[in-house]
Structure 1
Amino acid sequence: MLKFLENRPACRPLILTLLAALGTAATAQAQLDNRAFTAAAPGAPRPTASLLGPAQVPADSGTPAAGELRLSVRAFTFFKDNEYFNSIADGYTLFGTQLNPQLAYNPTANLRLEGGVLLWKDFGTARLRQVRPTFRATYTKGPHEITLGNIRPHLNHGYIEPLVNFERVMLRPLEEGLQYRYRGSRLALLDVWVDWQRQQYRYSNFQEEIAGGLSATLRLTPEGSPLLLTLPVQFTATHRGGQIDTVDRPLQTLFNGATGLEARYQLPGRQTALRLQAYGVGFYDKSFTYELPYRRGAGLYLNATAETRYLNVMLSYWQGQRFLSPLGGDLYQAASRTVSNPGYVEPHRQLLLLRLLRDFSLGDAAALTVRAEPVYDFKQKTTDFSFGVYLNFRQEWLLGKVK
């Protein structure tokens, strides 16, 4: 991050002002308040301050007794309209619903086995987009949690959007592999995961694809303080390759990372909090043969948020230099992901985003989320926007005990 500032003196006043303000305000979440998408009870009342942070509340809570058999239902209906008219990110609409009923069984109090099916239906088409079996084995011991099978995906990792795209909650609802999570006092959350995206077999005409990473939040202020300072460390890696396929295509290994400082201050006696976040972000292509337009890149990502009982308002600033991220949001890329301009590159990106966010509780089991996000491009001097409405429902019912 220091090297980034040395090469860009124009950014120094803005960054120094933000870092100075971190002495009076704070947070433990990665970016947005995504509890409606990750918490066990999407619409349950929320504490004014959470050690884990809004984006990192555990997806499941409580410890079922040994032998319990439960029915778990997770339903997600989404509408996201991207009114983008630029050469980097396509404008399109995501509109559909996903249903994941499962049976959950606890052979012991620490081991939970879940099995079911994901049904994914996009509106405007008669066919299901996906019908996929789901299975998860989760072992919990104190602050430690190990998951095999369908790991806790996308938003549960707590990444910032330049590293992991928010739209993966709609476009890649399942991740399959191995995950280790730790929740404690000083180390608020550690999430280490591997997502095996595509399995390769002998004589396959395609390459295997793997993604993984680490996300950690270290608390810097004492517990119970109205000022919460945290140090985030985030890392992702993607790999495409294999040795038993018939494709004459080089291996590709890409790394992304981010770190910085986060602050959240709870106003005394009020349901209002202020949050500031400053991240330095990096990209590195470790491939033997380079296919992407850039081998290295960097970015600066700043967020300022006012959390109120009526609305969350976030102002975000992004400045990227040759930055690429295979898992990250489209807007933050230096190379086009559009259908009409696939070869277009824009090495220097500078954006200002305003986010208006509100969750409406529909009871403990359900929440309706509304988000409006205009974005201004400093280079193109244009304004695009996106608008989204999301319904999350999650609930479990005890069916009985199996001896």
Structure 2
Amino acid sequence: MRNYLLNILAVGSLLVSTNVAQAQIDNRAFTNTTPGKKEAFTFSQQVSPATEENVAGDLHLSLRSFTFFKDNEYFNPIIEGYTLFGTQLNPQLVYYPTSNLRLEGGVFLWKDFGNARVRQVRPTFRATYTKGNSEFIFGNIRPHLNHGYIEPLFNFERVILKPLEEGLQYRYASDMVGLDVWVDWQRQQYRYSNYQEQIAGGLSGSVRLTGNNSPVAVSLPLQFTATHRGGQIDTINRPLQTLFNGATGIEARYPLPTHPTTAFRVQAYGTGYFDKSFTYQLPYRRGSGLYLNATAETRYLNVMLSYWQGQRFLSPLGGDLYQSASRSVNSPTYTEPHRRILLLRLMRDFSLGEAAAITVRVEPVYDFQERETDFAAGIYLNFRQEWLLGNISRRVRVGK
């Protein structure tokens, strides 16, 4: 596990002056503190540290609500169709001991519709220290879509299925550069455990190559993820597993001078997969992929066309459709060494005021191997708001 963490930190040190990528899709409705705020998309908005004005002693009540419906009508051997339908709620108390230290504590509730039981009830805690353009986070880090990965490396559905990540995170963002380095401790192992410890982590970064006054914003992204299963104090005889994925390429966005909310964006990424385990348990040890996106951002609708070509590509955190080995229930041993798909995404965010937004997405996908078209559709309601309860800056000395 020590070598796993050192690998993440080593790559992160090379990017200490790069910016977190804009991500494949504009997911601000899922990540921003004001999901319904309407404004033109800029380079650093996707994952910029918090900038609100706070006073030492302020106490807030925070409420985050997420209701989701995603219907995957898939009929292919890589992943079959299923539906995700439910709601998640996270009320918290927020306290500022100092103006740049934010402490959050509360409870996370997850209820799937059609199931009488609550799926998850978990405590949440986050400590965030902000200094200039940097942000240090301990506890429940800013998860899933906040990292800004492309979907072959990080599944969009983790916003539903893996809503909480716990560990450490460092984020940096400015107008030109920034970085997100994170470690998610997924499963803690104890002495005589009958299971392995599980860890995930990585970084997402990019640097803008053009100035603020340039008519075209061009950036160079670099993304990396790693997963590890292992440990030395369990009672099972199972080999360690360490997997790496990476992506880099070029991104360009051109906003129309007469319509700031209208823009065209192109992205080209090369991706890689590498199994660094001592004993190989997966069908492939190495793989690669080519991922191309073209997006028209308009006032009424965002339209995105994506092409994926994978060669023995596997990604444990990545989207199901991009894998070269099956994740289905009905054909778990199926493999497709050379996988090609074409996706069309129709996306729209409807603002319900600054605190809430409804996101609607329709995503048909053409599978070149099966010569068939499947599709997915989703509706999502994001609500996030805080209320100032008062200032409790008066303190009493405790202890000696």
Q: Is this a same-fold pair by TM over 0.5?
A: yes
In structure 2, the partner of 1:160 is 150
* TM-score, with structure 1 as normaliser: 0.91
Q: Is the 8 A contact 1:28 1:229 kept in 2?
A: no
- 1:297 and 1:63 map into 2 onto residues whose CA distance is 46
> Considering only aligned residues, what root-mean-square deviation do their CA atoms show, in Å?
1.1
In structure 1, the partner of 2:52 is 62
In structure 2, the partner of 1:19 is none
In structure 2, the partner of 1:39 is 32
> After superposition, what is the alpha-carbon deviation per residue over 1:291-340, rounded to whole angstroms, capped at 9, x for unaligned?
00000000000000000000000000000000000000000000000011
- 1:179 and 1:72 map into 2 onto residues whose CA distance is 21
In structure 1, the partner of 2:89 is 99
2:159 partner SS: helix
- 1:57 and 1:389 map into 2 onto residues whose CA distance is 26
Shift of 1:379: 1.4
Counterparts in 2 of 1:226-241, with a 5 A limit? 226-241=215-230
- 2:199 and 2:265 map into 1 onto residues whose CA distance is 34
Q: Is the 8 A contact 1:312 1:357 kept in 2?
A: yes
In structure 2, the partner of 1:320 is 310
Q: Supply the AA of the counterpart residue of 1:223.
A: N
Task: Give the percent of matched residue pairs that are identical in Structure 1 and Structure 2.
Answer: 73
- 1:123 and 1:30 map into 2 onto residues whose CA distance is 30
Matched, 1:379 2:369: yes
2:190 partner SS: coil
Matched, 1:87 2:77: yes
- The number of aligned residues is 373
Shift of 1:185: 3.1
Q: Name structure 2 gaps, 5 residues minimum.
A: 1-19, 394-400
Identify which of 42, 59, 67 aligns with 1:50: 42
Shift of 1:219: 0.5
Q: Supply the AA of the counterpart residue of 1:51.
A: F
Shift of 1:224: 2.9
Q: Supply the AA of the counterpart residue of 1:178.
A: L
1:156 partner SS: helix
In structure 2, the partner of 1:22 is none
Q: Is the 8 A contact 1:28 1:228 kept in 2?
A: no
In 2 relative to 1, CA 57–374 (structure 1 residues): closer, same or farther, beyond 3 Å?
farther
In structure 2, the partner of 1:176 is 166
In structure 2, the partner of 1:7 is none
Matched, 1:213 2:205: no
Shift of 1:63: 2.9
Shift of 1:186: 2.7
> After superposition, what is the alpha-carbon deviation per residue over 1:14-68, rounded to whole angstroms, capped at 9, x for unaligned?
xxxxxxxxxxxxx962201100000010001212x41215x4355x440311100
Matched, 1:194 2:186: no
Matched, 1:365 2:358: no
2:80 partner SS: coil
> After superposition, what is the alpha-carbon deviation per residue over 1:184-220, rounded to whole angstroms, capped at 9, x for unaligned?
2331x20000000000000000000000001001000
In structure 1, the partner of 2:14 is none
In structure 2, the partner of 1:23 is none
- 1:106 and 1:96 map into 2 onto residues whose CA distance is 32
- 1:56 and 1:369 map into 2 onto residues whose CA distance is 19
In structure 2, the partner of 1:257 is 246
Q: Is the 8 A contact 1:258 1:280 kept in 2?
A: yes
Shift of 1:90: 2.0
- 2:364 and 2:97 map into 1 onto residues whose CA distance is 49
Q: Supply the AA of the counterpart residue of 1:323.
A: F
Q: Name structure 1 gaps, 5 residues minimum.
A: 1-26
Range with greater deviation from structure 2 (27-36 or 216-225): 27-36
- 1:331 and 1:51 map into 2 onto residues whose CA distance is 28
2:30 partner SS: helix
Counterparts in 2 of 1:5-44, with a 5 A limit? 29-44=22-37
2:75 partner SS: coil
- 1:359 and 1:176 map into 2 onto residues whose CA distance is 29
1:316 partner SS: strand
- 2:51 and 2:236 map into 1 onto residues whose CA distance is 45
2:29 partner SS: helix
Q: Is the 8 A contact 1:78 1:389 kept in 2?
A: yes
Shift of 1:263: 0.2
Matched, 1:287 2:277: yes
Q: Supply the AA of the counterpart residue of 1:52.
A: S
In structure 2, the partner of 1:341 is 331
In structure 1, the partner of 2:299 is 309
> After superposition, what is the alpha-carbon deviation per residue over 1:71-109, rounded to whole angstroms, capped at 9, x for unaligned?
000000000000000100121000000000000000001
In structure 2, the partner of 1:394 is 384
Q: Supply the AA of the counterpart residue of 2:212.
A: E
In structure 1, the partner of 2:6 is none
Q: Is the 8 A contact 2:47 2:173 kept in 1?
A: no
